[in-house]
């Protein structure tokens, strides 16, 4: 049997846990740890704000309530993407 049209991508990003030092999420069939030390915008966020993550493209995560976006490549190879925050 062959389908005439392709279905939608069902791979979504999901925060699976939050601790005092960071959050865990699953995206693109992989689990990632996002340390608050590297991503301080999450430090003052509410649990609801952290759990509301969107996956606008295959490699991009976005938290609309916080206006924070993270590329999965930065989580996979942090040494290639040094973080520089400007306030």
3-state secondary structure 14-72: EEEEECCCEEEEEECCEEEEEECCCCHHHCCCCHHHHHCCEEEECCEEEECCCCEEEEH
Does some domain include residue 19?
Answer: yes
Domain count, the chain: 1
What confidence score (pLDDT) does residue 30 get?
92
What confidence score (pLDDT) does residue 87 get?
52
Does some domain include residue 87?
Answer: no
CATH number at residue 64: 3.30.2020.40
Task: Find the DSSP H helices in 1-87.
Answer: 47-51, 72-76
Does some domain include residue 53?
Answer: yes
Which residues of the chain register pLDDT less than 70? Answer: 1-11, 83-87
Domain range enclosing 41: 14-80
> What is the spatial distance between Cα 73 and Cα 80, in angstroms, rounded to a whole number?
9
What confidence score (pLDDT) does residue 6 get?
52
Does some domain include residue 26?
Answer: yes
């Amino acid at each position: 049997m062959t389908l005439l049209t392709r279905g939608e991508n069902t791979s979504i990003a999901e925060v699976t846990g939050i601790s005092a030092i960071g959050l865990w999420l699953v995206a693109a069939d992989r689990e990632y740890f996002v340390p608050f030390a590297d991503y301080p915008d999450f430090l003052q966020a509410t649990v609801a704000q952290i759990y509301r993550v969107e996956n606008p493209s295959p490699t991009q995560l976005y938290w609309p309530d916080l206006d924070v976006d993270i590329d999965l490549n930065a989580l996979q190879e942090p040494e290639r993407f040094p973080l520089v925050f400007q306030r």
